Amino acid sequence: MASYDVIILGGGPAGYVCAIRCAQLGLSTAIVEREALGGTCVLWGCIPAKALLESAALANKIRHAKDFGITVGDVSFEYGTAMKRSRAVSTQNSKGVEFLMKKNKVTYLKGTAKLTGPKAVTITGADGKAEKHDAKKAVVIATGSRVRGLPQAGLALDKKVVLSSDEVLVLEQAPKTMAVIGAGAVGCEFADVFNAFGTKVTLVEVAPTILPLEDADCSAEVAKSFKKRGIDVHTSAKIGDVKVGADSASMTVEVGGKKETLTVEKVLVAAGRAPNVEEVGLKELGVQLTERGFVKIDERFETSVKGIYAIGDVAGNQMLAHKGQREGHVLADLLGGAHTHPVNYKNVPSCTYCHPEVASIGLTEAQCKEQQLDYKVGKFPFSANGRARTSGETEGFVKIIRDAKYGEILGAHIVGPHATEMIHELVVARENEYTVEEIDLAIHAHPTLSEAVAEAVLDSMGKMLHA
């Protein structure tokens, strides 16, 4: 039995960042992980998916190589090779996290953890042997979330025909046909990937728009781009009559009262995730859950049981790696007695890495209307941006929503090339309460994509220059 100041259950972005920061503050820290360090983000989410999206982007770029004066010979697109590269990138990142644990003198305990007391943890290794450890200061639940199917619709995950994002990450080849159920970030990203590798993709979403959490203008722009590339997009859709066979599945898709039958080799269910709260010992200790099944926490991340905390996906709110990382950092500061700022959940950027990319911060225009805010909109298309023209990536725009009276940035939305990198100028601006006038005062280099931000700001003030 070993004793630590802090024991963290889960080695994903929330857990490992919390562990590093706790160690930096002089707390003896252990982290428990049953698979490999890095969590869903590194192993089965952000990192491998983005590696595949890079392959997809290159595949699409090669298709237009002649436009850039480059003639290529016979080209084949091999999903299996791209998949193996993505797994290698994932493994490299996981080893990087393991190195960070050693560097910061965090003890890595490999196994499955269960709470056996308010500050007691039993860890069972792959060999079945159990070890007991205790935490003098805190136990942190950072067990993350997992994929889920839609058994109520007949789409339980069988890992052969009906797949989650986990299984598609290790397919040896791209199927000829695929239905993607759910057009949030995950659904749109994998629709992009498989379309690039030659799969006939049908994207099905129950909401009126794809990327339903994004600004409606951004959703419409991505839908237009997808349709142009041959992806069938169905919104406000209902599926029924699902039949799953040994090597294919069929279903009806109803849109606007019209039904059509869809038969595909694979179905990707991308309709949300479930928190990992089972078999951790939470119920036995009386740790309360929310109505949606997440661990209930207060403003200091503490659960209903003193000394037990929760961060990351398992604690709900935005299920985003960077949100979990910030929670881990802030909680560690609280445990270590360092000065900290609370997490600003209203300023967490949202990013979707399909092509064109989508990134946003703050309110959508629909939310501004719902809140009856007095606002103005500025918008600038990448088709009028010199740098976008040089790269041939002219889809999309920058959209700024500002307070009409004071110029405060209420929301910012980018759809287009490198949107997920460009959004951070606006994240910093909102975090520091900069106005559009202050962004205008910052000289943006020419030619850059970021000039589109400056021009959208100018448009919101009624003085756009280049369009």
By annotation, the residues acting in catalysis are 446
Sheet with 397-403, edge to edge strand ranges? 350-352, 357-362, 409-416, 397-403, 375-381
DSSP state for residue 296 in the 8-state scheme: P
Q: Give the SS3 label for residue 53.
A: helix
Please provide the size of the chain in residues: 467
Other Cβ atoms closer than 10 A to 365: 18
Instruction: Map residue 253 onto helix, strand or coil.
Output: strand
CA atoms of 309 and 324, how far apart (whole Å): 13
Question: How far apart are the two ends of the chain, measured CA to CA in Å?
Answer: 68
Angle at 310 between CA 16 and CA 318, to 5 degrees: 85
Helices (H), 30-147: 39-44, 46-63, 79-103
Query: Residue 387: in which H helix or E strand, if any?
Result: helix 386-391
Q: Which two three-digit tokens encode residue 261?
A: 């039958």
Phi then psi dihedrals of residue 368, to 5 deg: -60, -40
The separation between CA 163 and the C-alpha centre of its own chain, rounded to angstroms, equals 18
How many other CB atoms sit within 10 Å of the CB of residue 88?
12
Host H or E run for residue 422:
helix 419-431
Vertex 117 angle, CA 111 and 120, to 5°: 45
Per-residue CA distances from 72 to 61, 69, 282, 293 (Å): 12, 10, 58, 53
Which alpha helices (H) appear in 266-320, and where do they start and end?
Answer: 282-285
Sorted by sequence, the CB contacts under 8 Å of residue 404 that are 6+ apart come out as 374, 375, 376
For 17, the 3-state DSSP assignment is helix
Supply the Cα-derived Rg of the chain in whole angstroms.
24
* Dist CA 182 CA 400 (whole Å): 27
Q: Encoding tokens for residue 73?
A: 């010979």
